[in-house]
Structure 1
């Protein structure tokens, strides 16, 4: 639904949108400290090393190209380039590399689009550049992503969307990128939750990954979720009622002492102090959470902490 400044200040989605301002303010300060491409380095669960799947699936020359090209755009994980290469042409192994729309080469560029990002000629590239040449194509893809939000991890979702204007494509690229990142598959599932309610809530939230954020959204048919709408719906699926907004959810649930271990199913809250909660997510274990981040993004599973993120504390809903 559309929002106005007055509604942002007082409405059900207020905390989730306030969280955007805090994150954007913190992002510049933290990018240089995060591995694998800023905030999205944690989203992709990688430490910069290729996973076993990446080593088995990506031809050595292409793997080298992805890893060499990505640093030209600080904040861009090489795994995203590799995921695009996989989806577009199976790393140049597809029998045909000419699409019905006229996109060509291993990274499937329209010629006019490629020409916008072809120069300078990269190391080992053809001269003049061509979208059929792997170094030219991979470096051009890096520049396209960088120009549309990947630099300094500003908005990787927008960058991938610029490559192919579809939310399903963004989700598919990010999922493939995580498969290529070392340790990406070591996330505990709902079976590790401490009780049935927590397991059900996590299962529900995971089923909503990829659904677009909607201010004030609670998941009614044809609508998305905001941060607290998602956590409320997740626990409602388990038969446990939570209040509607993040601040009230924080006030109504049992606080976990600082330093105490978190358990899957815990609620994670963000804000400057306990009376100004701006965001909530659902902890899934291994320092990760499922949350509905902000307008323009979709429900996702990501790291729950990074320096300067205004993480306040956690609570534990109980029947």
Structure 2
């Protein structure tokens, strides 16, 4: 039997005026032990969106195309019996379009509002005590400032149009699930799920619960990693580019996802770490050094925390490298994430996180090099 969400979430102290973790812990202790686990798993809809992001309009358009996903052999009996068919189709559809695990989306939907079936405040109208709304429980402020808004370029939030009506409605399951998929993708999914889910709701116990539910929804009992995201859904990264030049660089690099690593490769079928960067800059009409060893001294040094899309992040990795002679490089696509061709055994080219990676040597901005500035100036005349 499905138990409706109840209780309160410890992470809510940030949005509810500063309740302490100790008070929340005491409150949880008084819950009847027999029902403790069920109560925690299905608690009050939470204002999970504690960080903002950008709306990905192109992804919304791609996601509203024909052919919504239908249940398949990757579903467990639990998933088939517990997830409503319309919600399941949306989890599968937008999980595939954005490139995140459908069962993780479904697990968040279960944990937040029991797939929209909860009758608590904020699920179908209004907000809960902390300002969260809709089946995926976005804070309205991180949705875009309004519960329903027209989707236009430059929206500062995750408001999304999942049903193709031109509006992002936080109470509309299609819009909300698409927005949740984008947020997971922006913050590390499908590779760094713990980080992505933690950003969704900043509590380690919440991360553990979502991952456990996701496993129960998968036929194999494992979460798995989906195919690389549809290139049409790169707009979240591309739209964050500071200018058209960086946008061209990112578009080329992101289009190479899923291709294999090959030492010395510069495409079109395979690349090494510096080769994909070299070719991405060439795509924008710019010439930079071909190798990691040449790219490191080429760009202007950037302090960590100030990097932006198109910048390079270098690592002390590989034979003969050191803190002053990095041997691996990736390209920043958004704060904390990069696209990289890592190694032959590391899987295909993909977007990964770098903040938790060891041996970061530093960041550079090739676009500040005098040679590149001269190339840009000639292109403008």
Instruction: State the TM bucket, normalised to the shorter chain.
Output: 0.3 to 0.5
Which structure carries more relative contact order (alpha carbon 8 Å, separation 6+)?
1
Q: Between Structure 1 and Structure 2, whose CA radius of gyration is higher?
A: 2
Question: What TM-score comes out, normalization by structure 2 length?
Answer: 0.37
TM-score normalized with structure 1 length: 0.44
